[in-house]
Amino acid sequence: MMAAAWRALWWRLLLLAPWGGSRAALPPPQDAEFTFLLPAGRRECFYQAAPGNGSMEAEFQVIGGAGLDIDFSLESPTGVLLINEYRKSDGVHTIEPTEAGDYKLCFDNSFSTISEKLVFFELIFDSPQEDEDGDNWSEVVEPEEMLDMKIEDIKESIETMKNRLERSIQMQTLLRAFEARDRNLQESNMSRVNFWSAINLGVLVVVAFLQVYMLKSLFEDKRQVRT
């Protein structure tokens, strides 16, 4: 439990944006993924800075714990409740356009008094970026040196390839989360099957002994022989 609390605290410090300074000086946020253990009866919140007029996609999935469900909420930097879900096992939400500031993501397991939950979530950002390098390149290259190939076509092809690769990475991460949840389910089911199989085996052994004892008692001669 202490290790999970320290990991959650470390992740808060990692995601929390600095309070001082100018927001424009901050680098664009990077995509992030995190898996943490949420104890029973607890509520954990995370803060993530987002630029203005961008896009943020939040995905979460409960991959371990009884019921595989959790409460999820998402608040804007101004305190407006954007998403509020109850007893969900997974969800995908897109915020577009985003407001400049810190978004608050909360995972609530207070309805559970016994079972802890293993939660995976991922944040994906798509911020408008200025292609300064591309502009400088277009100024240096002469039209005659492009061999009848437009720079805009090259930039569009590279951007398309980049987006597809990023989407492939996101899908692989999501598939790993699904695989982890299925593996936890299978291990839980296997432990239940082993438990009830052991109980059934014990009952069969007891019944077999009782049957042998009862049959043996039927053929015993209890009359006393006098000589």
The mean pLDDT value for 130-135 works out to 48
DSSP characters for 25-71? GSPPPPPEEEEEEE-TT-EEEEEEEE-TT-EEEEEEEEEESGGG-EE
> To 10 degrees, the CA torsion angle through 34, 37, 41, 47?
-20
> Could you tell me which of 6, 3, 37, 1 has the C-alpha nearest to residue 184?
37
38 versus 155: the higher-pLDDT residue is 38
Q: What does the chain come to in residues?
A: 227
* Residues 6 or more apart in contact with residue 181 via CB below 8 angstroms: 61, 62, 63, 64, 68
Residue 9 is predicted with a pLDDT of 44
- Distance in angstroms (rounded) separating the CA atoms of residues 168 and 134: 25
Tell whether the model's pLDDT for residue 141 goes beyond 80. Answer: no
CB 62 within 8 Å of CB 108: no
Residue 27 is predicted with a pLDDT of 58
* Residues 6 or more apart in contact with residue 54 via CB below 8 angstroms: 96, 97, 98, 125, 126, 127, 128
* Residues 9-46 pLDDT 10s: 444 444 444 333 333 344 567 788 888 889 989 999 99
Mean pLDDT over each residue of the chain, to the nearest integer: 76
Residue 172 is predicted with a pLDDT of 78
Tell whether the model's pLDDT for residue 107 goes beyond 70. Answer: yes
Tell whether the model's pLDDT for residue 74 goes beyond 90. Answer: yes
3-state secondary structure 79-111: CCEEEEEEEECEEEEEECCCCCEEEEEEEECCC
Q: Which helix (H) or strand (E) holds 126?
A: strand 117-126
pLDDT class of 103 with cuts at 50, 70, 90: very high
DSSP characters for 171-199? HHHHHHHHHHHHHHHHHHHHHHHHHHHHH
105 versus 140: the higher-pLDDT residue is 105
The percent of residues in the chain predicted with pLDDT above 90, rounded, is 13
Our CA angle for 201, 183, 179, nearest 5°, is 160
Collapse the DSSP code of 152 into the 3-class scheme (helix H, G, I; strand E, B; otherwise coil) and give the result.
helix
87 versus 136: the higher-pLDDT residue is 87
Residue 223 is predicted with a pLDDT of 63
- Distance in angstroms (rounded) separating the CA atoms of residues 42 and 37: 10
Residue 82 is predicted with a pLDDT of 92
119 versus 173: the higher-pLDDT residue is 119
The mean pLDDT value for 169-182 works out to 74
166 versus 202: the higher-pLDDT residue is 202
Q: What is the CA radius of gyration of the chain?
A: 30
Residue 22 is predicted with a pLDDT of 37
The percent of residues in the chain predicted with pLDDT above 70, rounded, is 74
